[in-house]
């Protein structure tokens, strides 16, 4: 960050020590990074204070509390946040932009002035047809394009609500949300299948279910079979859970394939869920790269910060 | 009931007054009918004592309590029950039969002797591949074939777990369970869509969603749009709920159509849910008849009772 010719001017803006706070404040988690003027991460923290439930000043109180140690030691003067924190009724609303205005994110950050800090919140995106929205992922996708300016293809961000995005010529052409993660949680914890599923991963059960779902758009009609298998054959609950996951993710990937249309696929995320999407996509014959969600968020926020100050200084 | 030549003999069996108890004891409801020797329903009762949670003797205690008035007044000596009451760990287990042995239900009822009454429990069915089961529906389907001995085609029994059954030559050729009802309940009450849905029925929203789902196997990928519509356009929650219902039922019917394959469809059920299935099936171009689940259960249990006593007396 701040590698442009106006470095001296910007130091005035960001405080004597030149530290920033970057953050991805999602529905269920708050992730913050303290970065120096060269873009190095000095410290990081993560809490379960989700922006999904914090109304207005409640978010401000959480932010003040968790950043207190950084403020006492480093006096950061600016925070740049993306994610659900910018929703209506959240801390400060950053209205949605349509994908064709994705490159204008830095011009449309919402501002909030605290006594010792300026808080900037990145807008989310909405489709022109008003049938989908994202908040936070737009910034991670921006981070990916900063890492790989030539990337063209499909981007998948696995999560409770997985986003699928088409990137063409450095622009977001379209995006779509799938609720597979939430369906999996509801079905495994609260449905009649809950008796038949349990912890563990059975890769054979997962792969068989994946293959079924990729080959047959009627896979959703086979969910009850997980219970029947357990009732009649006392199937291992780990196999049941893996089958549920394989049927759901396989069906989601089957729905995505007509859009991917033979292109590259980049996955942004970490952990088991992302690994499962990679496994299904590779099984379906796709070249897949995986990028860390944290790194992409930092890269995207840094890019927005740099553009913001170009704008401020220009 | 008891219209066969051995009527006198059977009167000894069933008690001086010749009354019977028939029942459909499902996961979440207990339905009982007091019938006379001519098959007329003298009284009926329904409670929310689901057999899904009642282990062993707990079911017996509930049965004794709710039937006490009938026992005091009519001294019924026999009860014939179908449904989840016959599951393993329930009151008395009636092991599953495969569909090819469907006509042998009367030979395979489980017996339980109370001090003043014999209780008989009808087996459920399991597919030969061990990937599906039913308990209770087999008896309603039997009832339908007693009403319409020549019926050939698809039978759909809407519910939390909807059953689709193929009837050919008076035999169950195959069946399949869909979890649409449970998915609808989970998504409308516990998912991120809950803010966007509310009571009421918007037939235009339902029909549009139905048409989308019938025409595109990727309908499950559009669920999140219900939330986006509400966020961005403040959509009426009744329209949101109707769209959710239309997408889910439409997708289920789309999965069923390759099996229905142009045949007649009989729906067994009552109320709004059954009406919705009829609406979607008619929209898809199918001739649909609706039969009452209660009437079909009584007809099926009566048929089993008659065959049981033929067997006993023969």
For residue range B43-60, list pLDDT tens digits in order: 999 999 999 888 888 999
- Let me know whether B302 and B271 are in one domain: no
- Let me know whether A283 and A302 are in one domain: no
Under the banding of pLDDT at 50, 70 and 90, the label for residue A304 is very high
Chain A positions touching B130 (Cβ under 8 A) are 228-229, 232-233
> How close, in Å, is residue B86 to chain A by CA atoms?
13
Contact B217 A222 (CB under 8 A): no
pLDDT for position B313: 57
- Let me know whether A26 and A130 are in one domain: yes
What is the C-alpha end-to-end distance of chain A, expressed in Å?
A: 16
Chain A positions touching B256 (Cβ under 8 A) are 221
B183, B187, B224 ranked by CB distance to A132: nearest: B224
- Let me know whether B279 and B307 are in one domain: no
Contact A179 B133 (CB under 8 A): no
Contact A228 B177 (CB under 8 A): yes
pLDDT for A8 beyond 60: no
At A34-67, the pLDDT tens digits run: 999 888 999 999 999 999 888 888 999 999 999 9
Portion of chain B with pLDDT greater than 70, in percent: 93
Q: Whole-angstrom Cα distance, residue A237 to residue A226?
A: 9
Contact B126 A232 (CB under 8 A): yes
How far is the CA of B111 from the CAs of A79, A146, B44, B94, B121, in angstroms? 72, 72, 23, 9, 7
At B199-251, the pLDDT tens digits run: 999 999 999 999 999 999 899 999 999 999 999 999 999 999 999 999 999 99
pLDDT for position B4: 40
Beta bridge partners of B164: B156, B176
- CB distance from B190 to chain A under 8 Å? yes
* B85-95 residues labelled b (16+ CB within 10 A) or e (exposed): bbbeebbbebe
User: How many Cβ atoms from other residues are within 10 Å of residue B272's Cβ?
Assistant: 11
Mean pLDDT on B172-197: 97
- Let me know whether B254 and B271 are in one domain: yes
Q: Is residue B261 part of a domain?
A: yes
User: How many Cβ atoms from other residues are within 10 Å of residue B72's Cβ?
Assistant: 8
Mean pLDDT on B24-34: 95
Mean pLDDT on B51-72: 92
pLDDT for position A143: 97
pLDDT for A192 beyond 70: yes
Under the banding of pLDDT at 50, 70 and 90, the label for residue A18 is confident
Average pLDDT, chain B: 92
- What is the CA angle A132-A289-A126, rounded to 5? 15
> How close, in Å, is residue B112 to chain A by CA atoms?
23
Minimal Cα distance from B232: which residue of A?
A130
CATH code assigned at B274: 3.30.420.310
Q: Is the ipTM of this complex over 0.85?
A: yes
The residue range of the domain holding A73 is 19-147+294-313
Number of domains in chain B: 2
Q: Is residue A100 part of a domain?
A: yes
Minimal Cα distance from A161: which residue of B?
B224
Provide DSSP, B208-261. Answer: HHHHHHHH-TTGGGGTHHHHHHHHHH---HHHHHHHHHHHHHHHHHHHHHHHHT
pLDDT for B193 beyond 50: yes
Q: Whole-angstrom Cα distance, residue A117 to residue A134?
A: 27
- Let me know whether B127 and B240 are in one domain: no
* Angle subtended by helix axes B237-260 and B203-215, to nearest 10: 40
- Let me know whether A106 and A126 are in one domain: yes
Contact A231 B133 (CB under 8 A): yes
pLDDT for A281 beyond 70: yes
Mean pLDDT on A143-147: 95
- Let me know whether B25 and B122 are in one domain: yes
- CB distance from B161 to chain A under 8 Å? yes
Average pLDDT, chain A: 92
Q: Is residue B189 part of a domain?
A: yes
Under the banding of pLDDT at 50, 70 and 90, the label for residue A75 is very high
B133, B160, B221 ranked by CB distance to A178: nearest: B221
Q: Is residue A10 part of a domain?
A: no
- Let me know whether A253 and A285 are in one domain: yes
Q: Whole-angstrom Cα distance, residue A155 to residue B48?
A: 48
Mean pLDDT on B76-87: 96
Q: Is residue B157 part of a domain?
A: no
- Let me know whether B285 and B261 are in one domain: yes
- CB distance from B224 to chain A under 8 Å? yes
Please give the model's pTM, rounded to 2 decimal places.
0.92
Q: Please name the residues in contact with A304: beta carbons below 8 A apart, sequence gap of 6 or more.
A: A80, A82, A105, A106, A109, A122, A139, A142
- CB distance from A58 to chain B under 8 Å? no
Q: Is residue A272 part of a domain?
A: yes
Minimal Cα distance from B52: which residue of A?
A192
At B30-40, the pLDDT tens digits run: 999 999 988 89
Minimal Cα distance from A87: which residue of B?
B231
- Let me know whether A273 and A302 are in one domain: no
CATH code assigned at A126: 3.30.420.300
Q: Is residue A115 part of a domain?
A: yes
pLDDT for A183 beyond 80: yes
B132, B224, B228 ranked by CB distance to A130: nearest: B228
Q: Whole-angstrom Cα distance, residue A213 to residue A207?
A: 10
Interface with chain A: mutation pick from B213, B232, B243, highest number of A CBs within 10 Å: B232
Portion of chain A with pLDDT greater than 70, in percent: 93
Contact B131 A223 (CB under 8 A): no
- Let me know whether B88 and B194 are in one domain: no
Q: Is residue B23 part of a domain?
A: yes
């Amino acid at each position: 960050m701040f590698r442009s010719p106006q470095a001296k001017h910007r130091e005035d803006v960001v405080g004597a020590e030149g530290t920033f706070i970057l953050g991805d404040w999602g529905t269920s988690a708050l992730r913050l990074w303290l970065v120096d003027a060269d873009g190095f991460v000095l410290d990081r923290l993560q809490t379960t204070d989700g922006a999904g439930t914090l109304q207005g000043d409640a978010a401000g109180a959480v932010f003040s509390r968790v950043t207190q140690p950084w403020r006492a030691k480093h006096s950061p003067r600016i925070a740049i946040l993306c994610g659900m924190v910018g929703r209506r009724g959240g801390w400060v609303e950053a209205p949605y932009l349509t994908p064709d205005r994705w490159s204008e994110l830095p011009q449309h950050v919402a501002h909030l002035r605290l006594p010792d800090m300026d808080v900037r919140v990145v807008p989310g995106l909405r489709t022109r047809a008003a049938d989908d929205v994202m908040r936070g992922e737009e910034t991670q996708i921006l981070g990916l394009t900063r890492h790989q300016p030539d990337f063209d293809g499909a981007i998948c961000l696995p999560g409770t609500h997985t986003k699928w995005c088409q990137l063409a010529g450095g622009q977001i052409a379209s995006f779509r949300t799938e609720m597979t993660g939430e369906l999996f949680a509801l079905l495994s914890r609260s449905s009649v299948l809950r008796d038949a599923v349990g912890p563990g991963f059975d890769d054979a059960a997962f792969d068989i279910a994946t293959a079924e779902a990729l080959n047959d758009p009627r896979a959703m009609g086979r969910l009850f079979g997980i219970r029947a298998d357990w009732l009649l054959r006392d199937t291992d609950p780990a196999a049941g859970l893996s089958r549920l996951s394989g049927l759901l993710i396989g069906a989601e990937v089957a729905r995505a394939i007509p859009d991917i249309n033979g292109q590259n696929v980049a996955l942004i995320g970490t952990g088991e869920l992302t690994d499962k999407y990679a496994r299904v996509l590779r099984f379906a014959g796709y070249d897949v790269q995986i990028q860390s969600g944290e790194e992409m968020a930092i890269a995207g926020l840094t890019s927005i910060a740099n553009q913001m100050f170009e704008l401020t200084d220009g």
